[in-house]
Structure formats: structure tokens, C-alpha cells
């Protein structure tokens, strides 16, 4: 052993009683990963860095923050709750941890969905909802499942097929509203206002039912709607001007419903809320005992159910596409596109991203393609006419 080695050994040694053996203290562990960023002059953090000592105060949330975080987690979307419920049930069958799940579990569940023959869009939606439900910093790697999905896409062409909602254009919407109002009951007033608003607002059903009375102003010729944000414009508030039409009667229907709420002493909170067949509106206290986490706010599924109800009640038929609340948004976009609205006007009306191809390709083009018949240019075959010649 060299003198230098002996010196280093002495430095690391400790004086101990005879017969005792003490190991040298381990070298400080570096506390860095690929996301660590240090500024000039900063020390590399280590496990024994005296300037970086964490205590319980650094890791435990206070009660107020923990409560707010719990409420935020419980207020997740119905789609995410459904996706996680199904995922957790599958994990329980496989005896695997659902949250936080491993990349292996995440990948196998995606393969399970593919084996069931689900559509590509459905699988991507479920996997995205599951991944976003995982705790921060513990999200699974999606690259393996996406590799499988690419192969699945090539081998299962039917899995790419989208079945769009039937567009509820004005010729369908007006009979639905009239049917809802035929009994002249408050529940019909609410539904007809909800139908008219959904068509003109061009919103998603969750956006309709999340609106508060304070966000809506009914004028003589239009309805003003204030939005704090929407799916496309996060953190960007907007004021929408929904001009009225004689066939839609948006102002009349919204004003009648809001006036009725005011008569019941309701001037704040959700615009569209539960109303009994006898016209009574449950109090917040009553709703708190039996309602879902949405409280006084209707579930998006309720809008879906009412759209289906009045479509059937009006005796209307579709071309095979399903009837849903999304048909109100599709119907408004289709009516605009079929009547020469520009791309910019469509995007603005439905609050799509600038340059989005969705309104034209999903709502307008299918209708135009269905009406187009190039074989009309071919003369009718008439053998009798040839004989007479």
C-alpha cells in the first residue's frame, strides 16, 4: 500500500474501542436528476448539504390546502371518473396497483382495451384520462401503449370509424322546443330554453350546465354570455353576443325561464337546474342530501337525456346516427356551414381553434356529400324512347 493510500485511509478512519468495527460514513449522495437546473454559484444539492435541510413543514400540506386539493380532486369530470372506475376494477381482477400504476400495468390495460375491439379514439381518450389521474411525477410512460396502438390502427380499420352525433338543425330543433312547451309547465320552459340556448351557444353540454345566472344577461334582441374560459381558451375570458331569431325565440325562452326562477327566489347559481314535474325546484339543502357532487348544477348527461326525450316525442327520425346533446352543437355548425358561413365565422361561433378543420370536415362536408349526386348528370335510361326513334 502506498503512503498516499495510507493517508487517505487514516483520514476516513475513526478512533474506536478495541474490538469494535465502524464503517466509514458513505459519501454524500447527489440529489439531482435530468430536470435539475442550477445557476452560477449554486452548490450541487446532496443528501448532507447543510444548506438544504427539509423538515416536515416542507412536505406536509396544511389543513386548508389539503382540503382544497381534495375538493379539486373530487370535482373531476364524469368521463375521468368512469375511466378510472373501469381501470381500477380491471386492476383489482389482475391484482395490480391502480394508482399510481406502473408503465407495465398501463400498457397491459391498453392492450386489454384493444382486445375488446374498441375504437382508436375511445382507447386514446381512456388512456389519456387514466394517465392524467395519476399523482404528479408518477405518470406512466405512454410510449409502449402508443406503439401497440399504431399496430392496432393498421390491423383494425373499423376501429378508426367515428359515429358522429346526428346534427339537430332548425327543422328538427323547432318541433322539439314546441313539444317541450306543449304542456305549458316549468320543466318544459327550462328544456325549451336549454335547447334554444344549446343550439345558439354552440357549446358542449358541460359548458351549458356550468353557466351561472350571473354570467347571463338577457337583452331585448340578444343574450350576452360571459365565459371565464372554455376548452379551447384556457384562462381567457370571453363575452359572447347571441343574437336572437324569430324561429329560435332565444330571448323569450331564456327570459321566461329566468323570470320563473326569480319568482322562486332564485337569482344566482346555475341557470339550468333540477325542476320537478309539478314545477317545484328542490332547495340546496334538499339537493345536498341526495344529489351528486355537482350539487344544484345539472349533469351533462341530463341534457343528453332531455334531448333524446324531446326528439322522440316530436316524432323525428335520424339517418342512423345517434341522437345526443352534442347534436345541438353539430346542428348549429351544420346550419352555418350549409348557408355559406366562412371558416372564420364557424370557428368564432363554436369557439374552435383558429384553423381548426373540425367544423367543416365533421359537420358541413358530410351533409354536402350526402346531397351531392353526380349521377344526376346521366340521362335517364328509356328504352321506349329509342324504339320510337
Shared fold status for 78-160 and 170-370: no
Pairing type for strands 222-227 and 216-218 reads antiparallel
Q: Which residues of 119-137 are buried (b: 16+ CB within 10 A; e: fewer)?
A: bbeebbebbebbbebbeee
CA angle 144, 146, 148 (to 5 degrees): 75
- What CATH code is assigned to 170-370? 1.10.443.10
Q: What is the DSSP string of 98-150?
A: -TTPPHHHHHHHHHHHHHTT--HHHHHHHHHHHHHTSPTT-PPP-HHHHHHHH
Per-residue confidence (pLDDT) for residue 10, from 0 to 100:
38
Per-residue confidence (pLDDT) for residue 244, from 0 to 100:
95
Residue located via cell numbers 357532487: 293
Per-residue confidence (pLDDT) for residue 8, from 0 to 100:
43
Question: CATH number of the domain at 78-160, out of 2.20.25.90, 1.20.120.140, 1.10.150.130, 3.30.420.10?
Answer: 1.10.150.130
pTM over 0.85: no
Per-residue confidence (pLDDT) for residue 121, from 0 to 100:
86
The pLDDT tens digits along the chain (389 residues) read 444 444 444 344 444 455 555 555 566 677 766 666 666 777 777 766 656 666 667 767 788 888 887 777 666 677 888 899 999 999 999 999 999 999 999 999 999 999 998 888 889 999 999 999 998 888 999 999 999 999 998 888 765 666 778 999 999 999 999 999 999 999 999 999 999 999 999 988 888 999 999 999 999 999 999 988 777 777 778 899 999 999 999 999 999 999 999 999 999 999 999 988 888 888 766 555 544 567 788 988 999 999 999 999 999 999 888 999 999 999 999 998 888 888 888 888 888 888 888 877 777 777 777 778 888 888 888 777 655 65
Domain boundaries, the chain: 78-160, 170-370
Amino acid at each position: 500500500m502506498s503512503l498516499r493510500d495510507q493517508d487517505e485511509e487514516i483520514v476516513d478512519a475513526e478512533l474506536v474501542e478495541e474490538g469494535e468495527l465502524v464503517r466509514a460514513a458513505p459519501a454524500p449522495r447527489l440529489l439531482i436528476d435530468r430536470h435539475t437546473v442550477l445557476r452560477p454559484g449554486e452548490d450541487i444539492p446532496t443528501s448532507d448539504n447543510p444548506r438544504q435541510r427539509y423538515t416536515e413543514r416542507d412536505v406536509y400540506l396544511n389543513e386548508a390546502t389539503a382540503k382544497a386539493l381534495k375538493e379539486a380532486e373530487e370535482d373531476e369530470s364524469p368521463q375521468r371518473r368512469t375511466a378510472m372506475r373501469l381501470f381500477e376494477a380491471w386492476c383489482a381482477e389482475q391484482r395490480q396497483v391502480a394508482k399510481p400504476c406502473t408503465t407495465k400495468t398501463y400498457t397491459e390495460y391498453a392492450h386489454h382495451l384493444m382486445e375488446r375491439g374498441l375504437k382508436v379514439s375511445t382507447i386514446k381518450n381512456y388512456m389519456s384520462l387514466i394517465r392524467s389521474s395519476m399523482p404528479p411525477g408518477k405518470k406512466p410512460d405512454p410510449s409502449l401503449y402508443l406503439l401497440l396502438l399504431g399496430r392496432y390502427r393498421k390491423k383494425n380499420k373499423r376501429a378508426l370509424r367515428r359515429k358522429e352525433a346526428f346534427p339537430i338543425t332548425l327543422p328538427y330543433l323547432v318541433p322539439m322546443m314546441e313539444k317541450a312547451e306543449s304542456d305549458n309547465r316549468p320543466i318544459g320552459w327550462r328544456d325549451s330554453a336549454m335547447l334554444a340556448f344549446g343550439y345558439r351557444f354552440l357549446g358542449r353540454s358541460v359548458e351549458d350546465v356550468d353557466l351561472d345566472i350571473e354570467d347571463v344577461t338577457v337583452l331585448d334582441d340578444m343574450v350576452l354570455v360571459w365565459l371565464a374560459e372554455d376548452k379551447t381558451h384556457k384562462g381567457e375570458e370571453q363575452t359572447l353576443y347571441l343574437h336572437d331569431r324569430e324561429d329560435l325565440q332565444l330571448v323569450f325562452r331564456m327570459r321566461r325561464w329566468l323570470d320563473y326562477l326569480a319568482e322562486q327566489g332564485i337569482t344566482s347559481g346555475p341557470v339550468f337546474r333540477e325542476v320537478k314535474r309539478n314545477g317545484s325546484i328542490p332547495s340546496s339543502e334538499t339537493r345536498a342530501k341526495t344529489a351528486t357532487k355537482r350539487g344544484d348544477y345539472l349533469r351533462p348527461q341530463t341534457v343528453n337525456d332531455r334531448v333524446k326525450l324531446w326528439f322522440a316525442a316530436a316524432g323525428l327520425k335520424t339517418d342512423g346516427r345517434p341522437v345526443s346533446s352534442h347534436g345541438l352543437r353539430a346542428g348549429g355548425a351544420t346550419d352555418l356551414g350549409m348557408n355559406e358561413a366562412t371558416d372564420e365565422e364557424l370557428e368564432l361561433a363554436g369557439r374552435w381553434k383558429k384553423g381548426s378543420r373540425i367544423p367543416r370536415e365533421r359537420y358541413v362536408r358530410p351533409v354536402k356529400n350526402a346531397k351531392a349526386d353526380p349521377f344526376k348528370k346521366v340521362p335517364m335510361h328509356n328504352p321506349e324512347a329509342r324504339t320510337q326513334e
